[in-house]
A = this chain, B = another copy of it.
């Protein structure tokens, strides 16, 4: 296969971890006979510094013309303390999601047996957890009309959803559930919100098309509780943008393996793959960041092209590294650890 992949390294540790994912992907391509052309492009604070824009048009053109996007991380401390600054890295993220139509954020949370003790939860609560959130990513209160009235003393944000937006996200949820254990949980606040009632009735109407899937409807506050109590009771969960923002982050810390969690954001024409961790500015350039989440994001990318074996090869290499302790500082439990680059080299060599 010939693949054009846009490479958005971003800020902080982004470039370092992206380098390792490129290395491992190239090893996969060499082994399985694919040809990857990487197209680097600017984003985040790095792009603001260079061209005054966190998601420049040129970057968008490169992404739109590619088969997929591999993304590092964005965010820089100099933008942290003023959320009303006119230009911020996050705006690039939102603009990118909207312009590329990345409507479904896929956020798996699973456990690695060797990392269970890192979880803040007791072992018996977390063991066997393997769930996936599908978060709607281009609608809701993120993109509705917002502003001020009364000379600035009243602020508003409008949350809007159309039936079509719910359907395309829910469809992905039903399809994913069919490939897993056929359990789907729709997370909403239908006892209060009209948008949630639209979500619920739309999903209810789709149930007949997937007779094998058992659908549960739960309120967002109840899910926030049960995620901590019994995370392994969930399988596939679908939800709107803001609830997804909160719940996927909550879910990410329960496994103890947050530094290893990949994600994907799917559009109709293109998909983006990125680690869930941030730009970790303090670690920039120190060769200590864990590249595995980005490398596993590359595995998701191959799998999304239908290249299951390629993805499996990466996952096997990562599992082996975890078993043999070929890991960065964060996973070394005070024992021997390796640099970002060394872990990348080792994983590429395994392929």
Point out residues on A near B: beta carbons under 8 Å.
83-84, 88, 90, 94, 120-122, 125, 141-142, 144, 146-148, 150, 152-164, 189-198, 200-201, 220-222, 224-225, 227-229, 242-243, 245-247, 249-250, 252-254
Contact = CB atoms under 8 A, between A and B. Distances in A.
Give me the 10 closest cross-chain CB pairs, A-B, nearest first. Answer: A83-B190, A155-B198, A146-B194, A224-B250, A221-B249, A153-B163, A155-B195, A155-B194, A157-B159, A156-B160
| Copies of the polypeptide in the assembly | 2
A288 to B, nearest CB: 20
Given A120-B122, A141-B141, 4 more contacts: A90-B192, A120-B229, A141-B193, A156-B194
A248 B305 CA distance: 41
Contacts of A254: 228
A252 to B, nearest CB: 7
A84 B188 CA distance: 13
A254 B146 CA distance: 34
Contact of A84 (B148, B162, B190): B190
A156 B155 contact: no
Contact of A154 (B163, B196, B200): B163
A201 B246 contact: no
Nearest to A249: B221
A246 B229 contact: no
A108 to B, nearest CB: 16
Contacts of A162: 150, 153-155
Contacts of A201: 84
Contact of A121 (B120, B148, B200): B120
Nearest to A85: B191
A206 to B, nearest CB: 15
Contacts of A247: 224
Given A197-B84, A247-B224, A158 B155 contact: no
B194 A147 contact: yes
Contact of A229 (B191, B200, B225, B253): B253
A246 B220 contact: yes
Contacts of A153: 162-164
A200 B155 CA distance: 12
A152 to B, nearest CB: 8
A225 B250 contact: yes
Nearest to A201: B84
B246 A228 contact: no
